[in-house]
A and B are shown apart, each in its own frame.
Chain A
Amino acid sequence: MSQLLLDVNGLTMRFGGLVAVNGVNLKVKNRQIVSVIGPNGAGKTTVFNCLSGFYIPTEGSVMLKNQQIAGLKDYQISRKGLVRTFQHVRLFQKMTVIENMLVAQHRHLNTNLFSGLLKTPNYRRLEKDAMEHAAHWLKEVRLLDYANREAGNLSYGQQRRLEIARCMVTQPELLMLDEPAAGLNPNETKELDELIISLRDEHEISILLIEHDMSLVMGISDHIYVIAQGTPLADGNAEQIKGNPDVIKAYLGEE
């Protein structure tokens, strides 16, 4: 039943002589939450950058729904349904919340200059759909009341939620979250936890997660990959990872 959505094989990224990522394999199935963990500087974000097309991987293949996406442009990859958030929130600060949501739906809108200038029925319909879709997702992350505020004026937790909502309106199949819980208080982390689970269970998408908050990772992940110094160290479910001596060694150092 659960098909393979993302299949990464032997992903390697070199910057000159520095090997940042070395032979990483990842598999994400439909409706799965998969986490990537590892000490600071292990190359987790580099993996994300390779998958989302910000870097072109030196070696290895990235298959999304049995289609090779390594080497495609970043915007082409996100149009195929693989969308990411960032370690540091990247919103369109000076624009309102609702405008942020509309920009994200750019490719679903009628961007023809003339139909926009003439307000053709097709243009109006798509514009209206986009507004409704945006409103739906703002409600989902409890930001509907802030729709006309400038995004930069929201609190940090709200900005994090807006970033996720902004990804969701692009109708992705795989959402990649880069440290979504960084800077959140325990309450907000708990909400985030529920939001991620609802994304999987109700909206039927897969999530690839980088996170340092172990209680969050262990609680929600269906599968966990551990990377240390750019090399895959272990993978398995939460119990297997917790008991793996290599992982403990990588995190705590040798005795």
Chain B
Amino acid sequence: MTSSKLYNAIFAAGIALILACLMIGVKLDTDSSVLAVKGATAEQWIWIAVGISVVFLSQLFSAQVDALFGAIPKPNFKAVLPQEKKMAVLKPWLISAVIVGMLIWPFMVSRGTVDLATLTLIYIMLGLGLNIVVGLAGLLDLGFVAFYAVGAYTYALLSQYFGMSFWACLPISAGLAALFGFLLGFPVLRLRGDYLAIVTLGFGEIIRILLNNWTSLTGGPNGISGIDKPTLFGLEFNRRAKEEGAMTFHEYFDMDYSSSYKVIFLYLIAVLLVICVIYLINRLMRMPIGRAWEALREDEIACRSLGLNRTAIKLSAFTLGASTAGFAGCFFAARQGFISPESFIFIESAIILAIVVLGGMGSQMGIIFAAIIMTILPELAREFSEYRMLLFGLLMVVMMRWRPEGLVPIKRPNLELKQQ
């Protein structure tokens, strides 16, 4: 053991001590209407001491800890999955089984579970949209939530002022979000990496602050409430029809009213949207435009020398990514029935980005898994909600050590060539 290790360990323990003393050791408390500084209890001091010794020891024996980490077996998916040729035969069956399962499943579980699944599906959509920009085109976008907000507010405003229906607003939301993506794309064409991240971050904040302050149109921080839910060919899912003469779902089918119909209906719409988005993006990835996005991520200069117009390629990535977020936003507004700028803060962008990174840049399967994990874990760990960000950070650190390329790294398509 070298002395530098000991020095490192002492240094880390010292920093841990300072931080722990500041954050846990002293506390501001109201003592009969006067603020007073209180020290930690004896029990807390013991925990602090234990924590610091853990930091000290883990730094001192970091080599051994690394070896332990290395010893954790990496999951070997190849062994679990059938061989490639069998997979090709099984694939359509597997996909249809999953779809049928997703359609039947909500009728067997509780309302809350279906609601959570709907939320997960929204995040899957957002993750897939951001994947085009970050994973495929390699443009780091920290303000993705702005397009989500544009989609949501488009539907909310059109519904409130013009009484337009969800189905009519869905393409409009996507289109308007795409337009914003296109507009953002122009000034950032020449930017890459850190600079692009900062500009997109700013853009996300601009949209949020605009929504917050344009009170006459958006209602400011109070948001917009009473947004209409989607209807099934004009059939509402409320107890009573809003307009005279209109039918509700349970009246039409002559069933008793149940509020879970609405939840399940929303879930099914989300499933439909997600399937559409997955199919479309999957096709895009195999098309010239998808290849061009990836080529742009790999080497911009080579792209230019081969006659690819990088302006068109970058703008198309921004536009299509944003339109996916617009879709998700429109659905989000319909599901919540109430939106406010609070729903579109920076942390949402960060979560969507985390989904893309955790899942594996560019990989659709990975993003679906990551979105499921990122929405279900916080629900399961409700008791630890105070430590949510801590767990989030821990998850990131563990993932980066264990599988830096993401849960399911992107697999390159195998293109058959005729041997001449």
Contacts of B420 in A (CB 8 A): 135-136, 139
Is B419 a contact of A144 with CB atoms below 8 Å? yes
Is A135 a contact of B288 with CB atoms below 8 Å? no
Is B310 a contact of A75 with CB atoms below 8 Å? yes
Contacts of B379 in A (CB 8 A): none
Q: Which of A75, A98, A170 has its CB near the most chain B CB atoms (within 10 A)?
A: A75
Is B307 a contact of A147 with CB atoms below 8 Å? no
B372-420 contacts to A, CB under 8 A, are 412-415, 417-420
Q: How large is the interface on A (under 10, 10 to 19, 20 to 34, 35 or more residues)?
A: 35 or more
Contacts of A134 in B (CB 8 A): 417
Q: Which of A79, A94, A139, A166 has its CB near the most chain B CB atoms (within 10 A)?
A: A94
Is residue B301 contacting chain A, with contact meaning CB distance below 8 A?
A: yes
Q: How many angstroms from the CA of A91 to the CA of B299 in the assembled complex? A: 7
Task: Select B294's contact among A92, A135, A136, A144, beta carbons within 8 Å.
Answer: A92
Q: How many angstroms from the CA of A98 to the CA of B417 in the assembled complex? A: 9
Q: How many angstroms from the CA of A114 to the CA of B75 in the assembled complex? A: 39
Is B305 a contact of A92 with CB atoms below 8 Å? no
Is A109 a contact of B306 with CB atoms below 8 Å? no
Q: How many angstroms from the CA of A75 to the CA of B291 in the assembled complex? A: 17
Is A79 a contact of B307 with CB atoms below 8 Å? yes
Task: Select A150's contact among B287, B288, B412, beta carbons within 8 Å.
Answer: B412
Q: Which residue of A lies closest to B294 (CB)?
A: A95
Is B295 a contact of A144 with CB atoms below 8 Å? no
User: Nearest Cβ distance between residue B286 and chain A, in whole angstroms?
Assistant: 8
- With A117-B280, A117-B283, A131-B417 known as contacts, the answer to whether A90 contacts B299 (CB < 8 A) is yes
Q: Which residue of A lies closest to B418 (CB)?
A: A135
Instruction: Map CB proximity to B onto A82-106 as digits: 1 under 8 Å, 0 otherwise.
Output: 0110100011111110111011101
Task: Select B305's contact among A84, A131, A139, A148, beta carbons within 8 Å.
Answer: A84
Contacts of B418 in A (CB 8 A): 131-132, 135
Q: Would you list the 8 A-B pairs with minimal beta carbon distance, nearest first?
A: A92-B298, A116-B287, A90-B302, A78-B307, A103-B295, A74-B304, A79-B307, A109-B288
Is B292 a contact of A148 with CB atoms below 8 Å? no
Task: Select A86's contact among B284, B291, B301, B309, beta carbons within 8 Å.
Answer: B301
Q: How many angstroms from the CA of A139 to the CA of B419 in the assembled complex? A: 9
Is B308 a contact of A106 with CB atoms below 8 Å? yes
Q: How many angstroms from the CA of A166 to the CA of B302 in the assembled complex? A: 10
User: Nearest Cβ distance between residue B293 and chain A, in whole angstroms?
Assistant: 10
Q: How many angstroms from the CA of A75 to the CA of B301 in the assembled complex? A: 10
Known: A78-B307, A93-B298, A103-B292; 12 extra A-B contacts, CB below 8 A, are: A78-B306, A95-B291, A95-B412, A103-B308, A107-B308, A116-B283, A116-B289, A131-B417, A136-B420, A139-B420, A144-B417, A148-B415
Is B302 a contact of A148 with CB atoms below 8 Å? no
Contacts of A221 in B (CB 8 A): none
Q: How many angstroms from the CA of A111 to the CA of B417 in the assembled complex? A: 21
Q: How many angstroms from the CA of A249 to the CA of B131 in the assembled complex? A: 57
User: Nearest Cβ distance between residue A201 and chain B, in whole angstroms?
Assistant: 21
User: Nearest Cβ distance between residue B154 and chain A, in whole angstroms?
Assistant: 22
Contacts of B292 in A (CB 8 A): 103, 106
Is residue A12 contacting chain B, with contact meaning CB distance below 8 A?
A: no
User: Nearest Cβ distance between residue A179 and chain B, in whole angstroms?
Assistant: 15
Contacts of B310 in A (CB 8 A): 75
Is B288 a contact of A102 with CB atoms below 8 Å? yes
Is A102 a contact of B291 with CB atoms below 8 Å? yes
Q: How many angstroms from the CA of A189 to the CA of B266 in the assembled complex? A: 65
